[in-house]
């Protein structure tokens, strides 16, 4: 839910500022939050945790860049669900390959969750078709996001938030370098700075919650629940902005709730 709220605010911010400005400034806001939370959620410093986090940050930054690239060259109704499903499936496959064995109800919940992600990601395509390049970029973006979840989960237990510190250092560095190379403006639009800061803080809060959840549960289940975040974005868009939802998207939200219930019961 927190990831979805952060994305909603990020979407509002991009209506007033350039995308790179939103990404860089929100990443910095999230880094400030993690520094404030360090004393509250202490952990032992570990170079291994920092390195795993840095690797996760590279994967996440690459996924974000490729995702925006795919959106710029393809059709959102194809790009969004392709990216989301890939980012959902990879942690599940990794978890099963490393010995995780969810209960049968949880497996049904996983399947229902994948269906939900596809459904909530649908939007009118107006007869357009995505190019093969945009589909490949969407698949690669999903792999980047899935890799973020997998790599972050490899950090040793007891290291607190150090993996997220490493992740944010590399992601900020990567995005700032991209802005410098492309000469993109990092100045926020009028009235957008507060929204950007809130989006970044919530995104980091969601990362913290994911890390805590992963430490207590199966990656194959936690990552699936996290990947349902587009449902909360849709609900906020409906009630805050008055956007109309398609019937398939409403059904997708219902599937998402059913998936959460099945996994929770299992």
Q: What residue ranges do the domains of the chain occupy?
A: 2-265
d(CA 202, CA 180): 26
| CA–CA gap between residue 245 and residue 123 (Å, rounded) | 9
User: Taking the alpha carbons of 75, 146, 213, 115 in that order, is the dihedral positive or negative?
Assistant: positive
Helix residue spans in 18-161 (DSSP H): 19-37, 47-73, 76-97, 104-120, 132-152
| Residue range 5-24: mean pLDDT, rounded | 84
| CA–CA gap between residue 190 and residue 15 (Å, rounded) | 11
pTM score, whole prediction? 0.85
CB-based contacts of 86, cutoff 8 Å, min separation 6? 138, 139, 141, 142, 143, 145, 146
Q: Where are the alpha helices (DSSP H) in 158-192?
A: 162-182
- CB-CB contact of 63 with 142 (8 Å): yes
Report yes or no: 57 and 204 within 8 Å, Cβ to Cβ: no
Q: Report the alpha-carbon distance of residue 90 to residue 219 in Å, rounded.
A: 10
255 vs 260: CA distance, rounded Å: 9
What was the pLDDT predicted at 211? 92
Q: How many CA atoms lie within 13 A of 45 on its CB side?
A: 2
Residue 98 · residue 223 · CB < 8 Å: no
CB atoms within 10 A of CB 28: 18
What confidence score (pLDDT) does residue 170 get? 93
Q: Average of pLDDT values for 32-43?
A: 92
Q: Taking residues 214-240, what's their average pLDDT?
A: 86
Residue 71 has pLDDT above 80, yes or no: no
Label residue 152 by pLDDT band (50, 70, 90): very high
Whole-angstrom CA distances from 196 to 190, 206, 248 are 11, 15, 30
What is the DSSP code (8-state) at residue 209?
H
Question: How far, in Å, CA of 113 to CA of 227, rounded?
Answer: 8
Q: Can you tell me the distance from the alpha carbon of 223 to that of 228, in angstroms, rounded to the nearest whole number? A: 9
Residue 253 has pLDDT above 90, yes or no: no
182-186: average pLDDT:
80
Average pLDDT over every residue of 240-261: 84
At 265, the pLDDT band (50, 70, 90 cuts) reads confident
Average pLDDT of 119-138?
A: 70
- Token digits for 57? 């940050």
Handedness of CA 208, 209, 215, 220 (dihedral sign): negative
- Average pLDDT of the chain, as a whole number: 86
pLDDT at 159: 92
- Residue 36: is its pLDDT beyond 60? yes
pLDDT band at 237 (very low <50, low <70, confident <90, very high): confident
- Of all residues in the chain, the percent with pLDDT exceeding 90 is 34
């Amino acid at each position: 839910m927190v990831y979805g709220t952060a994305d909603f605010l990020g979407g509002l911010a991009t209506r007033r500022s350039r995308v790179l400005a939103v990404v860089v400034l929100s990443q910095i806001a999230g880094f400030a939050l993690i520094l404030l939370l360090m004393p509250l959620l202490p952990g032992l410093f570990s170079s291994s945790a920092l390195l795993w986090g840095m690797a996760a940050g590279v994967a996440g930054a690459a996924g974000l860049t490729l995702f925006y690239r795919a959106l710029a060259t393809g059709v959102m109704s194809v790009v969004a669900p392709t990216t989301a499903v890939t980012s959902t499936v990879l942690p599940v496959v990794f978890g099963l390959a490393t010995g995780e064995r969810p209960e049968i109800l949880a497996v049904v919940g996983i399947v229902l969750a994948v269906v939900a992600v596809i459904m909530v990601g649908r939007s009118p395509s107006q007869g357009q078709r995505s190019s093969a390049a945009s589909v490949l970029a969407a698949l690669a973006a999903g792999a980047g996001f899935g890799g973020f979840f997998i790599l972050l989960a490899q950090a040793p237990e007891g290291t607190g938030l150090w993996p997220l510190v490493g992740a944010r250092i590399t992601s900020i560095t990567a995005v700032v370098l991209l802005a410098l190379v492309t000469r993109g403006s990092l100045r926020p639009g009028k009235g957008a700075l507060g929204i950007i800061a809130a989006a970044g803080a919530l995104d980091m809060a969601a990362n913290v919650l994911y890390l805590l959840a992963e430490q207590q549960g199966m990656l194959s289940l936690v990552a699936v629940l996290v990947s349902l975040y587009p449902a909360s974005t849709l609900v906020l868009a409906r009630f805050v902005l008055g956007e109309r939802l398609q019937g398939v998207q409403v059904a997708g939200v219902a599937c998402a709730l059913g998936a959460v219930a099945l996994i929770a019961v299992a």
